[in-house]
């Protein structure tokens, strides 16, 4: 599609479309949340409509027919919705959410460029359903109370504004007219602040220039305001404005037109009426009678948020540039090169320093080197920052999943998100969404009880799943907490025994924490049958492994009857991790610190041989040992430095724990991991390599993989057939 526009333009289109769809999803979620407590926010509905409208234009431009067709139908439906021709039902919301899923799928296939000409069954049936919905509900009107509105004003109302006007009156709001003079230079800012001031009290329906009483530099606007507050309250709220507020006369109370008849405003001369959507003056009778429906005449307590009217359409608001993540990787690599140059420079500085005759030069060079150092560090920070995205991006997707899942299992659940602004590396964010999705599904399926059971034990009927994120030092913590039934650790233990993962006697030695940790074992479920959502073969073990791959760890806490909490701790950035540098034989290896529990010296007397495997006893617990030099088939170190003791680095991942025997620990270091390429891609046991300052390269251990290998009876190196050669 759009080949003549080039790949770059197409990419831009795809990412822009994705952004719009994401925003759409966000708005829908908000809409879903707000409609539960009050009338739908017209602002949001309008936002959704505009999003789809923009998308339609975009898709048309890029000849994305299926996306375009979907947008077109949706636009019609949403237009009916925002003009009050249809009501927002849970059913319709469901359909809108389905549209988002559909958008995402279509967009994904557009990305691959696959099946563009085929008829998409799902799309076709979805569009048919949307059309079937069609028939708008008529707006009821009775004659009890009426407002006498200036025909000139009514004449310029857009259909949307007219709808808002009707709705406001139906909700029993009072109408006010506010006249305010604005300075032309600052009118945009002033209007914005006015909107903010009014927002808590009511909704601005429309505004028009009066054309009177203004000098050359200012303009007087007449603002039509709907509010349930009294004129005194509004005057107080808007005291700073120097405006005149008056309540619109009601027909039943007074007769005759309002005394301050505004002169006919001309659409063309009004810069503010240049609305993005076509503002067609509707032919209306000179006096329109608008009245609330008797049934809904009670005033709404929550003030309706105002409908934002003017959007800057030509100037893009966001000062952002989209960048391919690979380019950032490239920058990171360049930075790595600079770091190596710095290392070389340092050695030269040291050499020069040794020359007494060059003292002055040494000082200068030292200063330059120091400056270089500082700027390099600043640059590294800056590049890492560029890669950061707020976790909110991930959480939004999850909110959608949670909503859908809660409907599937018919459990009422509130997803409470905090810390959405917490930032992580883009790649971590992407990789995190699947594990989090599993955890939320688990919480819904296994954690949260059904409404009746909850009420029996005195919990609120709707369950709560909290998704909290916050930064903690150099790490980011993400918590998934539910107020469900908690995890029954006895059933976990039983399941583990049934599964053969644990013997009866072993099970008696487990601490409470250990018992809960069993949830991370593969194939463990406390359910006899798989749930509707989870229990589809992907368990917590996969979650733990995936998070481990990101250098993170998962912990679980649970109180029976009260709820469970999973805590994920992640490094903020993938690009740079902390590692423990260890030596085995003559080689240096990096062990990601995230998977290191501790380093120990273990006396030979503490080690026994069990079926050909060395097991140490540490603080009363068994720790299987693994000699890295044997695993890697390296020469044994010439002079074991530690005498009668072994130096052991205890590593853990996904509930596996093992002590790796090393010859020496060289220290801690922040490293940049580079992946192994070419024929080395298939070499197991290494997550990549990293450059040390002195031009040497150290391999980074893939701890989860090595643990698996060390713990399984047959070593992987023997199992995997070596490539010839």
Partner 1 sequence: MAEKSRAYASLARVTSEEAARSEFLAFRLDEEVYAVEIARIGEILRVPPVTDVPRSPDRIMGVAGVRGRVLTVLDLRRRLGLGQPEPTRHARILVLPWSENESVGLYVDAVLQVYRFAEADIELVAEGLGGDVGDHVIGVARVEGTLVVVIRLEPFLEL
Applying CB under 8 A, which residues contact partner 1?
A: 333-337, 340, 587, 631-634, 674-686, 688-692, 695-699, 717, 722-725
> Exposure pattern of 246-285 as b/e (b: 16+ CB <10 Å)?
ebbbebeeeeeeeeeebeebeeeebebbeeeeebeeeeee
| Least distance from partner 1 to the Cβ atom of residue 268, Å | 56
3-state SS of 564-621? EEEEEEEECCCCEEEEEEEEECCEEEEEEHHHEEEEEEEEHHHEEEECCEEEEEECCE
DSSP for 210-263, please give it: --SS--TTEEEEEEEEEESS-HHHHHHHTGGGT-EEEEPPBTTT--S--SSPPP
Closer by beta carbon to partner 1, 217 or else 633: 633
CA angle 180/183/185 to nearest 5° reads 145
Helix (H) or strand (E) holding 346: helix 325-353
Long-range contacts of 339-342 (CB under 8 A, 24+ apart): 339/376, 339/380, 339/693, 340/691, 340/693, 340/695, 342/369, 342/372, 342/373, 342/376
Closer by beta carbon to partner 1, 238 or else 584: 584
**Dist. CA 60–CA 54, nearest whole Å:** 10
3-state SS of 450-500? CHHHHHHCCCCCCEEEEEEEEEECCEEEEEEEECCCCCCHHHHHHHHHHCC
Closer by beta carbon to partner 1, 253 or else 680: 680
Closer by beta carbon to partner 1, 470 or else 632: 632
| Least distance from partner 1 to the Cβ atom of residue 633, Å | 6
Closer by beta carbon to partner 1, 160 or else 660: 660
Closer by beta carbon to partner 1, 344 or else 561: 344
| Least distance from partner 1 to the Cβ atom of residue 113, Å | 19
**Dist. CA 116–CA 108, nearest whole Å:** 11
| Least distance from partner 1 to the Cβ atom of residue 712, Å | 16
| Least distance from partner 1 to the Cβ atom of residue 677, Å | 5
| Least distance from partner 1 to the Cβ atom of residue 342, Å | 12
Two tokens, residue 612:
């050909």
Answer whether 146's CB lies under 8 Å from 291's CB: yes
Q: Give the bridge partners for 672, in sequence order.
A: 576
| Least distance from partner 1 to the Cβ atom of residue 718, Å | 10
| Least distance from partner 1 to the Cβ atom of residue 723, Å | 5
Sequence-ordered list of residues with C-beta below 8 angstroms from that of 239, at least 6 positions apart, any chain: none
Closer by beta carbon to partner 1, 67 or else 335: 335
DSSP for 83-113, please give it: TTSS---HHHHHHHHHHHHHHHHHHHHHHHT
| Least distance from partner 1 to the Cβ atom of residue 575, Å | 12
| Least distance from partner 1 to the Cβ atom of residue 636, Å | 14
Closer by beta carbon to partner 1, 622 or else 675: 675
Closer by beta carbon to partner 1, 99 or else 335: 335
Residue 582 to residues 628, 643, 664, 701, Cα–Cα distance (Å):
11, 18, 6, 10
Task: Measure the CA dihedral 113/119/124/125, to 10°.
Answer: -110
Closer by beta carbon to partner 1, 298 or else 681: 681
Closer by beta carbon to partner 1, 316 or else 682: 682
Closer by beta carbon to partner 1, 234 or else 698: 698
| Least distance from partner 1 to the Cβ atom of residue 679, Å | 6
| Least distance from partner 1 to the Cβ atom of residue 588, Å | 8
């Amino acid at each position: 599609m759009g080949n003549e526009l080039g790949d770059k333009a197409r990419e831009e289109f795809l990412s822009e479309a994705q952004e719009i769809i994401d925003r759409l999803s966000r708005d829908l979620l908000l809409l879903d949340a707000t409609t539960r407590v009050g009338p739908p926010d017209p602002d949001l509905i309008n936002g959704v409509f505009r999003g789809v409208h923009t998308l339609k234009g975009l898709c048309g431009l890029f000849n994305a027919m299926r996306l375009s067709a979907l947008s077109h139908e949706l636009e019609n439906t949403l237009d009916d919705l925002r003009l009050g021709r249809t009501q927002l039902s849970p059913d319709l919301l469901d359909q809108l959410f389905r549209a988002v899923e559909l958008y995402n799928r279509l967009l994904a296939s557009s990305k691959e460029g696959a099946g563009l000409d085929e008829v998409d069954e799902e799309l076709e049936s979805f569009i048919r359903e949307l059309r079937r919905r069609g028939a708008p509900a008529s707006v009821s009107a009775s004659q009890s109370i009426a407002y006498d509105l200036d025909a000139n004003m009514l004449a310029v109302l857009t259909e949307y504004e007219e709808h808002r006007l009707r709705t406001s009156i139906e909700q029993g709001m009072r109408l006010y007219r506010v006249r305010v003079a604005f300075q032309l230079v600052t009118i945009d800012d002033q209007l914005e602040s006015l909107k903010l001031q009014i927002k808590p009290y009511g909704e601005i329906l429309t505004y028009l220039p009066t054309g009177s009483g203004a000098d050359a530099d200012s303009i007087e606007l007449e603002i039509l305001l709907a509010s349930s507050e009294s004129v005194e309250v509004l005057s107080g709220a808007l005291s700073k404005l120097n405006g005149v507020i008056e309540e619109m006369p009601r027909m039943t109370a007074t007769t005759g037109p309002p005394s301050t008849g505004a002169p006919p405003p001309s659409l063309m001369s009004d810069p503010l009426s240049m609305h993005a959507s076509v503002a067609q003056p509707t032919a209306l009778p000179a006096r329109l009678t608008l009245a609330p429906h008797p049934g809904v005449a009670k005033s709404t307590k929550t003030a309706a948020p105002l409908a934002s009217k003017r959007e800057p359409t030509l100037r893009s608001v966001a000062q952002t540039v989209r960048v391919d993540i690979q380019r950032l990787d490239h920058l990171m690599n360049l930075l790595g090169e600079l770091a190596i140059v710095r290392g070389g420079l340092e050695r030269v500085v040291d050499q020069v320093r040794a020359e007494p005759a060059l003292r002055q030069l040494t000082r200068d060079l030292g200063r330059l080197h120091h400056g270089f150092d500082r700027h390099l560090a600043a640059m590294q920070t800056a590049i890492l920052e560029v890669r950061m995205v707020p976790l909110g991006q991930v959480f939004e997707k999850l909110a959608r999943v949670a909503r859908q899942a809660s409907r599937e299992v018919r459990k009422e659940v509130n997803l409470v998100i905090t810390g959405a602004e917490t930032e992580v590396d883009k790649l971590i964010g992407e990789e995190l969404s699947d594990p989090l999705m599993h955890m939320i599904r688990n919480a819904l399926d296994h954690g949260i009880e059904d409404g009746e059971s909850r009420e029996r034990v005195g919990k609120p009927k709707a369950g709560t799943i909290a998704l909290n994120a916050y930064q903690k030092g150099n790490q980011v913590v993400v918590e998934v907490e539910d107020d469900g039934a908690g995890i029954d650790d006895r059933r976990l233990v039983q399941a583990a025994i049934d599964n053969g993962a644990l013997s009866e006697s072993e099970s008696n030695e487990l601490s409470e924490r250990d018992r809960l940790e069993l949830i991370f074992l593969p194939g463990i479920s406390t359910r006899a049958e798989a749930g509707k959502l989870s229990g589809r073969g992907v368990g917590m073990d996969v979650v733990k492994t995936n998070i481990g791959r990101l250098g993170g760890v998962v912990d679980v806490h649970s109180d029976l009857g009260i709820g469970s909490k999973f805590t994920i701790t992640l490094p903020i950035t993938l690009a740079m991790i902390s590692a423990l540098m260890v030596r085995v034989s003559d080689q240096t290896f990096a062990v990601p610190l995230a998977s290191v529990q501790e380093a120990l010296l273990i006396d030979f007397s503490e080690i026994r041989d069990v079926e050909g495997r060395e097991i140490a006893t540490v603080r009363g617990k068994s720790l299987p040992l693994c000699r890295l030099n044997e695993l890697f088939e390296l020469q044994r170190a010439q002079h074991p430095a530690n005498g009668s003791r072994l130096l052991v680095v205890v590593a853990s991942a996904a509930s596996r724990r093992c002590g790796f025997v090393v010859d020496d620990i060289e220290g801690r270091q922040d490293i940049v991991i580079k992946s192994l390429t070419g024929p080395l891609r298939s070499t197991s046991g290494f997550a990549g390599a990293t450059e040390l300052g002195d031009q040497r390269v150290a391999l980074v251990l893939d701890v989860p993989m090595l643990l698996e290998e060390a713990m399984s009876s047959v070593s992987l190196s023997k199992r995997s057939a070596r490539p010839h050669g």
